[in-house]
Structure 1
Amino acid sequence: MSFHTWFLFATAYLVTTISPGPNVLLVIRNTVRFGGRGTAATIAGNLLAQLVVVVLVALGVGAVLAAMPPLFLAMKVLGAVYLMVLGVKQLRSRKPMATASVDALSAQPLDKRKIFREALLVSGSNPKTLIFLSAFMPQFIVHDQPLPAQFIVMYLSVACIVALVHTIYSLGVRRIHSGLGTSRWMKAVKRCSGLIFFGLGIKLLTAKQA
């Protein structure tokens, strides 16, 4: 893969990643709740999900999924239900909102494995991501060069872009939270994230196959 082709791929993927979605929302929520430790576990789960998706694209699974509407529908319903359940759990949570300082968030109990699994499921819950990358990535493939190496380069680029964008969102939220630093702010974030997760689930459920 030439530098020009890679640059076009990285730029195009960066543009698609900047716009907020479920993964960004999860990073923001976990940053507010747990600080940097929650952010790291969330990004790690997302990157593993992205790796699985890229491998599936390389194997042609995305094309198969696009050609089988019943399978696509089943995966879409499962993903939508998971997002809506996540939103309801946020809205129904009665745990007290703690500490005014971002630094003090380190005192909150943190289950990194749970956060990692949650990020993995949120990132992998939308089958349209698999279909999108199945249509997006082959446009940058050079067919007279080894395919595995090109997919490795594209995944590493995806991973770096995702980590960078999510880290920027996290730092921005930490700065805002440091300035406001109130339990009212944390409660508002929790409620808003619950509503948005539920709304994203409905959006996914009603979306048509591309």
Structure 2
Amino acid sequence: MSFSVWVALLAASVVISFTPGAGAVNTMGNALKVGLRRSIWGILGQQAALVVHIVVVAAGLGVLVANSPVAFDAIRYAGAAYLVYLGIRQFLAKPVVTAPVASAPVASAPVASTGEADASGGAELVRTGAETAAGTGASVAASAPAGAATVAAPARAASGFSTESSWSLFRRGLLVNLSNPKAIVFFLAFLPQFIRPDAPLLPQYLIVGATVIAVDIAVMWGFFALAARSFRRATTSARGQTIVNRVFGSLFLIVGVALAAIH
């Protein structure tokens, strides 16, 4: 692949990635739900679906899907139904607002009266205090990992973010992109523009796939996920979370209905 062809591919990939769709909606919703850093798992799931689409087209199966109305409609309606399901679930999601964690009360040791202390009592107090300090220090050192784990467990929830697993985010991103047969048809028309049939095909498909995926990750994480942070302040209250859930739920519904209705 020549450099000029690769530059054209890069420019086309940027334009395509910036086009709003189910992937962008999913990325922004994840960034609000689990935070910017963990939203990458949903983005990686979407890229895994792109790999599948590219492999399908490269293997020639894309032609079969595009030319088979039954197969195309089956995938299209299944994808639309899944997006509608995601939209309804997010639209009806209950807000999760965590209360601040109260600090544990610290018990103060009783202070002995100066008048009641004598020399022998003072010596005994010093000896006992030294033994107690040594024992307490060992006890704290032994229990430190457990305490750290206890504090780390609710840390994510206390930040206001969901504790949804990375696998769940990845799986949803995969299904959101995988259930769109129009992506196969699009790649069927898009990829040949940058492939020379008289040159080895595998290196060309690898370059095209790597470019498309790298650009999409950069746009999804560096633009759409970051853009969602501007809505983060609205999600600190139950009312704000409800509004955001309904907005993104409605967007999923719109994309799902459009996928089913537009031929």
Same fold (TM over 0.5): yes
Which residue among 193, 196, 208 is the counterpart of 2:251?
A: 196
Moved more, 106-115 or 75-84: 106-115
2:11 partner amino acid: T
Give the secondary structure class of the aligned counterpart of 1:36.
Answer: coil
Q: Whole-Å Cα distance in 1 between the matches of residues 161 and 94 of structure 2?
A: 19
Residue 186 (structure 1) aligns with: 241
Offset of 1:184 from its aligned partner?
Answer: 3.4
| Aligned with residue 171 of structure 2, among 107, 117, 124 | 117
Matched, 1:96 2:96: yes
CA pair 8-143 structure 1, distance change in 2 beyond 3 A: same
CA offset at residue 147 of structure 1?
Answer: 0.4
Report the count of equivalent residues.
207
CA contact (8 A) 1:22 1:197 kept: yes
Which residue identity lines up with residue 200 of structure 2 in the other structure? P
CA displacement, residues 62-107 of structure 1 (integer Å, 9 cap, x when unaligned): 11111111111111110111111111111222242458xx996476
What amino acid is the match of 1:188? I
- What SS does structure 2 have at the residue aligned with 1:159? helix
Instruction: Work out whether residues 13 and 216 of structure 2, in 8 Å CA contact, stay in contact via their aligned partners in 1.
Output: no
Deviation at 1:176, TM superposition (A): 4.4
Partner of 1:138: 192
Distance of 1:152 and 1:113 partners within structure 2: 26
Q: TM-score, normalised by structure 1?
A: 0.90
Distance in 1 separating the partners of 2:243 and 2:11: 34
Which moves more between the two structures, 69-78 or 30-39?
30-39
**Cα offsets for 1:31-87 (capped at 9, x unmatched):** 001102431111110111111111111011111111111111111110111111111
State the identity as a percent. Answer: 31
**What is the letter of the counterpart of residue 115 of structure 1?**
L
Residue type of the alignment partner of 1:84: V
- Matches of 2:61 and 2:12 in 1, distance apart? 22
Q: Which amino acid aligns with 2:2?
A: S
Q: State TM-score, norm by structure 2.
A: 0.73
User: For the pair shown, which has the larger CA radius of gyration, 1 or 2?
Assistant: 2
Aligned partners of 1:90 and 1:190 also within 8 Å: yes
- What RMSD over aligned residues (CA atoms) do the two structures have, in Å? 2.2
| Distance in 2 separating the partners of 1:77 and 1:2 | 39
The AA in structure 2 aligned to 1:187 is T
Name structure 1 gaps, 5 residues minimum. none
